[in-house]
Amino acid sequence: MKNSRNWIGGEWIEPTAGECAVINPSNTKEQVGVLHLSDSSQVIQAEQAAREAYGPWSGLSGPVRAGHLERMADLLQSKSGDVANLASMEMGKPIAEMRGEVSRGVNLLRYYAAEGLRANGAVIPSSEQNVLQFTRKVSLGVAGIITPWNFPVAIPIWKIAPALICGNTVVWKPAELASLTATRLAELFEEAGLPPGVINLVIGKGSQIGKAMLEQTPLDAVSFTGSTSTGLGIAQICAKRNIKYQTEMGGKNAAVVLNDADLETAVPLIVSGAFRSAGQKCTATSRIIVESGIYDSFIKKLSYALSNIKLAPALDSEAYLGPVASASQYETVMSYVHMASEQADILAQGPPLSGDQDGYYIRPIVAAGVGAGHPLIQEEIFGPVATVLEAADFEEAVALCNQSIYGLSASLFTQNLSHAHRFLDEARAGMVRVNQETAGVEYQSPFGGMKLSSSHTREQGQAALDFFTELKTCAISYR
């Protein structure tokens, strides 16, 4: 049985503001561990520890900080199976996908470690003689990192690694549903020899300690990923305090299939985008927009592909999708499943659970027959439910794709170069892809959305380095 713990200033502390059982979503009769909840005093302590560590950490050279990240990567790599197992048991992501996510975490640590050895500014010609003018990217201070449960390893690391390499220290509040995994990661970072206070982990409820972090500590920056409603509230608080923030939020991503699409490519990528991780990715394909001429043959192939995927416990290495993550996720997603069975046509359904475990399993469905303004088309469901819309031509397909308050990711399936380029131009999404699924943007590329999907900042790749630093313009005269 695992226990969540706080890691503050290099000390392990079991908070006492409450506790609850961590239940395996693949088998609700199994308790995986105990979640110990913090109150605001631990958040304040964590911020103080991060602030104390900030001077020495930001004073280290880039290559020395890089060495720390390399050791964190080595440790995570050596314990990757163990971390993936725990995360699968805690939040229900199939083990094969979870292993891939841990490898992504290792790659992210190595990518940002390398940044410790790269240039972090530019020399700008001065109009005066004997003046050296240049920019430097400098750290922000203490960064608050607030993360969701759906990528319990990759999202925390894609925020923490760039924050650290730029010289910031961190207070990290993971989602309640991913707290055991977060504790395990912090244990590895300690084992890797990270100096005390550089990362401080505080476990607890977002509405309490997340809020306290923003309102009761003098954080210098906040990087948040989660729902749009929470993110907009966080943005308001940060804007009022004039601190730098980024909020990566919800999505309602469309895959558009044109008459000339290669269905052998499109169908598996759409099934994967919609149903892997049980649809619980911010970049999941949740709207499928199909041009009329190919509609019937596409639906036929989609139904066949869906009937061949496996819904199974997360630790089954052949599971295509596992359960949804929690009882409350189950209730929310099932309310949309009921809505679909009452108000839409169910075009295709995946097989039921293979086995007889009690868990938060939801059979994947594809629905159609509702208008573009219907909640099934407009609201983020975050579960294995996709809806189909028919479009008369490319122009209508793009208009439907853009008819959303969200703008995270969008895909087009076509063989037509002109439509491919026009889609890249016209789709209002932060990540636009042709003949690729809506999910799966590589870690070295900027990640983020337009409209209500993001604060218009970007994560991953070089973009994360811009977020976790600010620019200082320097000039020195040596006449």
**Integer angstrom CA distances of residue 375 from 162, 284, 378, 381, 387:** 37, 17, 5, 9, 10
Whole-number Å distance between alpha carbons of 22 and 181: 11
Q: Which is nearer to ligand NAD, 152 or 364 (CB)?
A: 152
CA nearest to 209, candidates 35, 57, 12, 87: 35
Q: Which is nearer to ligand NAD, 142 or 192 (CB)?
A: 142
Identify the bridge partners of residue 469 per DSSP, sorted by sequence position.
139
Q: Which is nearer to ligand NAD, 147 or 181 (CB)?
A: 147
Q: Tell me which of 248, 291, 380, 459 is the catalytic residue.
A: 248
Q: Which residues bind ligand NAD (CB under 6 A)?
A: 146-151, 173-176, 206-207, 210-211, 214, 225-227, 230, 233-234, 248-251, 282, 380, 382, 408, 449, 453
Q: What is the chain's alpha carbon radius of gyration, rounded to the nearest angstrom?
A: 23
**Catalytic (active site) residue 248:** yes
Q: Which is nearer to ligand NAD, 167 or 384 (CB)?
A: 384
Q: How far is the CB of 89 from ligand NAD (least distance, A)?
A: 18
Q: How far is the CB of 301 from ligand NAD (least distance, A)?
A: 28
Whole-number Å distance between alpha carbons of 100 and 109: 14
The strands making up 385-391's β-sheet, listed across from edge to edge, are 345-349, 365-368, 385-391, 285-291, 253-257, 409-413, 431-434
Q: How far is the CB of 122 from ligand NAD (least distance, A)?
A: 29
**Catalytic (active site) residue 282:** yes
Query: What are 9-15's contacts with CB under 8 Å, separation 24+?
Result: 9/45, 9/46, 9/48, 9/49, 9/52, 9/53, 9/196, 9/197, 9/200, 10/49, 10/190, 10/195, 10/196, 10/197, 11/196, 13/42, 15/39, 15/42, 15/202, 15/203, 15/204
Q: How far is the CB of 461 from ligand NAD (least distance, A)?
A: 13
CA nearest to 27, candidates 88, 82, 102: 88
SS (H, E, C) 455-470: CCCCECCCHHHHHCEE
CA nearest to 149, candidates 4, 309, 318, 365: 4
Q: How far is the CB of 303 from ligand NAD (least distance, A)?
A: 27
Q: How far is the CB of 130 from ligand NAD (least distance, A)?
A: 47
Whole-number Å distance between alpha carbons of 416 and 93: 36
Q: Which is nearer to ligand NAD, 294 or 441 (CB)?
A: 441
Q: Which is nearer to ligand NAD, 209 or 261 (CB)?
A: 209
Q: Tell me which of 282, 380, 437, 459 is the catalytic residue.
A: 282
Q: Which letter does DSSP use for residue 261 in this model?
A: -
CA nearest to 42, candidates 9, 72, 69, 2: 9
Q: Which letter does DSSP use for residue 474 in this model?
A: E
**Which residue blocks in 228-326 are alpha helix, DSSP H?**
228-241, 263-275, 295-307
Q: How far is the CB of 83 from ligand NAD (least distance, A)?
A: 18
Q: Which is nearer to ligand NAD, 116 or 174 (CB)?
A: 174
Q: Catalogue the active-site residues.
A: 248, 282
